[in-house]
Structure 1
């Protein structure tokens, strides 16, 4: 079976297919969802396909809904490569669930982890533990951890008190807009359409608005000494509704562009917060104390209106913890195992290469995902200690263990 060679043209931060070669398409049946054990013959038959896809997709990583070239950190927009990646990961999930891989993994874990209490347990043995998951809401995290209704109220209260701070709110908005700006600039440079130019202008106006209010309310700047003006210039009086209108226009003009769909989705999510604070003024003519009062109103309204299931609240949490607003994906959701006050949360990533850069990216992605669950576990005041454990799978890789920020990460090789 031959490898498909792609001719790709580089545009700024993107790779776009320029040829029309037939896709190297495999039967993408989702083997990992089957309740019946796959036969040994199936593993022998499918392994050449897994190896071929590993070669084809080398240094391609799927992160947060996008395909990334690890070497150049550029984005692929290619349906065929995306389909091949889905097929590849589905096949690998089937191998991870096989009896012989589970047996080998148990031996590896026993060698590295001396305090394994449940000798009959190995991660990802159940089909449900090998399902992919997008970590995009507190409700999804709480359901996964079996957080009670009462504890969810506690989590929401604690999270809101931290992530609705004015600097977090404006910082998250800027992060959404900056993501838009990068891809809009690429589209504009290629002269695709006028909507990209209009979108870039709207983003620029929004960022200027946020920069102005950030400078004015900064106690480190001279503006803190400014007193309220006795004469109010209503032309300078603005509200958060101005940003809401700009976000609506931005979403509308970019909605049909496939390459911007993730940015549009995140703008739709943050619109929820803008709707709740649209009547709050942002006035240049007030003094520092009045400006602080306006910021306090923003925080109070967001804290009151953003519920536990709000994806806007979760986006603010992502920015608060990691300085990013993109949702986090894991290839295998894993689960929680343990008893008597000692538990272990495990999740997995499937890699196309065991290069240092690819493994490093996998570790950081898992660290962010696991960190969200650990944060909610602690905010909910769950009983017991929760250890974090990440697993990465790659064809032909050597089994090894890594430590990152106090947590354990395993690299597992896929072979016959």
Structure 2
């Protein structure tokens, strides 16, 4: 049975720029069929629209699901700009696929696999929000996935990683709700802001002295509870996260955060009976931290969104899912070595934009490399990032030991 492939992207772009409907459908069979491309006139008509969008969106970029003004380092909330950005990215992928671009960029540099981004699915986007997606991309076997979980869990479920990821998630949510306050807001967002503030305050007050760098003999013994108040537990945070998710479940602009809240609730449920009091004695506090790690390690599966969030925080100090705009793939290079390529289309050749794009790609490449190595995949893996933008000078950049190639998009 034939399956519809890449044609919809060209049809969508054609609709946006007012071109006639083009019969440029691509299909995939059990055997790979040769890809067809639109006629040269399509590119000639689409290019002016692409240039216009480049000018309109200059220094605006998609940063892991958020529209950002890179000059002001601020979040952009504008449905019209969001639609234009989606159109820009769609056209950008179409130009990457152009035969002239493939020849220009990939045959001229011997270090880039000739097949890189040559297939339609390799020019699609990919949101990395679970270990399963990362493992699928790398073709990690079921047995290797079990090994990955067993190796990752003890590292990422340490108490300071767990608490840090929760606080980071709440701070991110608080920041974005603050941006929404400049627009008409709902009662749900108003209530959500109160819950977020209370939850951050709760986590701060229950921070135990064992989390500091002071040696145990220097720490003061806990004071006796005069009021005999009941001990606080992680279940209190679980309840707050549940209320917060209910308040924000209809807020489209915050849906990614709601998914994160739901994911972290999975972990909170596993440790809901573990004490979280800040005035526990040193030994008891260490025991409670051990229980957090033990319960999370035992119960968070390979496909757990909570486990993936902890991994992101462990690797990058951030809990945001990673969006790869041009997914690329893993390509064999002979002699048992491989090259992993991913890419991004930028609205400007400004150095700040280029470096921002490189750093975003590096985050994805680092995640892939980590899972590749911890899964014990055979063969050396080279990492490559590619950024495309109009007017850019072709060059090779090295960042953290990896290769990043900057490409100019031009009609000819």
User: What is the TM-score when the length of structure 1 is the normalising length?
Assistant: 0.86
C-alpha spacing 1:176/1:33, structure 2 compared with 1 (3 Å): farther
Count of aligned residue pairs for this structure pair: 386
Q: Show the counterpart of 2:281.
A: 287
What whole-Å deviation, never above 9, does each CA across 1:364-408 have from its counterpart, x for those lacking one?
Answer: 000000110000000001111101000011122221111100111
1:390 corresponding residue in structure 2: 385
Does the 8 Å CA contact 2:208/2:285 hold for their aligned counterparts?
no
2:79 aligned residue: 79
Structure 2 matches for 1:40-189, cutoff 5 A? 40-110=40-110, 113=111, 121-188=114-181
SS at match of 1:388: strand
CA distance in 2 between counterparts of 1:33 and 1:271 reads 43
Contact conserved, 2:22 with 2:38, CA < 8 A, in 1? Answer: no
Choose the corresponding residue for 1:411, options 381, 402, 406: 406
Task: Give the CA deviation at 1:359.
Answer: 0.3
Are 2:291 and 1:297 aligned?
yes
What is the CA-CA distance between 1:84 and the residue it aligns to?
1.4
CA offsets 1:248-307 (integer angstroms, 9 cap, x no match): 111222233333333222212211111111111223553110111111111111101110
Q: Indicate how the Cα distance of structure 1 residues 190 and 406 shifts in structure 2: closer, same or farther if over 3 A, else same.
A: same
- Aligned counterparts of 1:223 and 1:183: Cα–Cα separation in 2: 38
Q: Paired residue for 1:202, among 176, 185, 195? A: 195
**1:325 and 1:231, CA in 2 relative to 1: closer, same or farther beyond 3 A?**
closer
Q: Partner of 1:203: helix, strand, or coil?
A: helix
- Structure 1's 368 and 78: CA in aligned 2 closer, same or farther, altered over 3 A? same
More displaced, 379-388 or 41-50? 41-50
Cα distance, 1:73 vs structure 2: 1.2
CA distance in 1, matches of 2:153, 2:372: 16
Cα deviation for residue 26 of structure 1 reads 3.8
In structure 2, relative to structure 1, the CA distance for the partners of 1:31 and 1:268 (3 Å cut) is: farther
Partner of 2:8: none
TM-score, structure 2 normalization: 0.87
Q: What's the counterpart of residue 361 of structure 1?
A: 356
**Structure 2 match to 1:264:** 258
- Give the direction of change, closer, same or farther, for the CA distance of 1:242–1:94 in structure 2 (3 Å limit): same
Residue number among 247, 265, 268 corresponding to 2:241 in the alignment:
247
1:26 and 1:87 in contact (8 A); partners too? no
User: In angstroms, what is the RMSD of aligned CA positions?
Assistant: 2.5
5+ long unaligned stretches in structure 2: 1-14, 28-35
**Contact 1:130 1:333 (C-alpha < 8 Å) held by counterparts:** yes
Counterpart secondary structure, 1:238: coil
Partner Cα separation in structure 2 for residue 385 and residue 32 of structure 1: 38
